């Protein structure tokens, strides 16, 4: 996925001279995860450069650049490192278009490596999507495949409004042949990764491969589970999700973030409201626990896994089928 993201940035910068990339160590070093590797050498220090360790300043500078005709793409080194920039994001990035009745829009992308599964500690493994999704004025997307990483990042950079681009760190080193030729998946459209008859697993970002693994395991036990990959949290694709759940009558939402007041909670509510007369059982959630992110030796218990997902599937009132 790192190479897919790097290529997306390279291709966007080559296609549009207004695209600039900056953040902590993204210049000659190429970023902590090397997502920006080679961009400074190719496009020069004026288009890909390092900043001080000041996330609020990084986002604030991006706001000014976007207001004056550039398309900034900034990197927050780790998910929770973005919190010092939250005031800029909530008070200005998200609101400027509404504040000016659409006369000033901000075509900018905030890249945030997020999620666990890499043996990191707190501030390095958080899932902060709920904060952004709860803030009107922001688009929030997260890829689960390398092809989507390329396509969604190109779409985010071309979008006229601010996009929070959440990159699942545990997917960074996945190997998957990149095909950049297919049409860029539009922001706001989910995709059915696996068709199923018995129940629907709804996931996004790092939880999609886990959901697919659970569906594979369930198939060996006689249950046919479908998997929907949201790709876009905001805007939310009710049409695809609702159609998938109505076909099966059962749903489990899978996400790494703590479950209380979460994106998973919002999904469960939307599905319950729109599919109520089709459901055979209450919508279940399998999420991280409502605790600060645990130390590495405990994260395997915190993160949703195949066993926890299948336990939730077992609880979907099969006795009435």
The catalytic site residues sit at: 124
Q: In whole angstroms, what is the distance from residue 83 CA to residue 230 CA? A: 24
* Contact present, 112 and 58 (Cβ < 8 Å): no
| Closest C-alpha to 26, from 7, 12, 6 | 6
**Residue 192's beta-bridge partner residues?**
228
Q: Any idea what the Cα angle at residue 11 is, between residues 8 and 17, rounded to 5°?
A: 125
Q: Cα Rg for the chain, rounded, in angstroms?
A: 20
Question: Token pair for residue 112?
Answer: 């945030």
Tell which residue, 201, 173, 165, has the closest CA to residue 21. 165
Of the candidates 206, 161, 156, 140, which has an alpha carbon nearest to the alpha carbon of residue 11? 156
H helix runs in the chain, sequence order: 2-15, 39-43, 55-67, 86-88, 96-99, 129-133, 146-158, 207-220, 238-248, 263-275, 299-302, 306-314
Within 8 A by CB and 6+ apart from 9, the residues are 19, 21, 35, 36, 39, 73, 153
Three-state SS for 244-302 is HHHHHCCEEEEEEEECCCCHHHHHHHHHHHHHHHHCCCCCEEEEECCCCCCCHHHHHHH
**281 and 317 Cβ atoms separated by less than 8 Å:** yes
Q: How far is Cα 165 from Cα 74, in angstroms, rounded to an integer?
A: 10
């Amino acid at each position: 996925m790192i190479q897919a993201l790097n290529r997306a940035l390279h291709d966007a910068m080559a296609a549009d001279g207004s695209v600039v990339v900056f953040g902590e160590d993204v210049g000659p070093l190429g970023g902590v995860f090397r997502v920006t590797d080679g961009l400074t050498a190719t496009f020069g220090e004026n288009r890909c450069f390092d900043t001080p360790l000041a996330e609020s300043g990084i986002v604030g500078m991006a706001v000014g650049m976007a207001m004056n005709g550039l398309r900034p793409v900034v990197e927050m080194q780790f998910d929770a490192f973005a919190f010092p920039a939250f005031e800029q994001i909530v008070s200005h990035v998200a609101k400027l278009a509404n504040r000016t009745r659409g006369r000033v829009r901000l075509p900018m992308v905030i890249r945030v490596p997020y999620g666990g599964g890499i043996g990191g500690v707190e501030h390095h493994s958080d899932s902060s999507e709920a904060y952004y999704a709860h803030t009107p004025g922001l688009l929030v997307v997260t890829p689960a495949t390398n092809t989507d990483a390329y396509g969604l990042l190109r779409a985010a950079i071309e979008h006229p409004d601010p996009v929070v681009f959440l990159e699942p760190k545990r997917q960074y080193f996945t190997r998957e042949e990149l095909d950049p030729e297919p049409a860029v998946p539009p922001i706001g459209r989910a995709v059915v990764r696996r068709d199923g008859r018995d129940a629907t697993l709804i996931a996004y970002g790092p939880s999609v491969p886990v959901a697919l693994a659970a569906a594979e395991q369930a198939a060996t036990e006689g249950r046919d589970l479908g998997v929907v990959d949201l790709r876009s949290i905001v805007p939310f694709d009710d049409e695809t999700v609702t159609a998938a759940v109505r076909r099966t009558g059962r749903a489990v939402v899978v996400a790494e973030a703590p479950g209380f007041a979460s994106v998973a909670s919002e999904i469960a509510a939307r599905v319950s409201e729109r599919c109520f007369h089709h459901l055979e059982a209450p919508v279940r959630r399998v999420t991280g626990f409502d605790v600060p992110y645990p130390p590495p030796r405990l994260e395997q218990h915190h993160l949703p896994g195949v066993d926890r997902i299948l336990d939730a599937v077992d609880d979907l009132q099969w006795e009435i089928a």
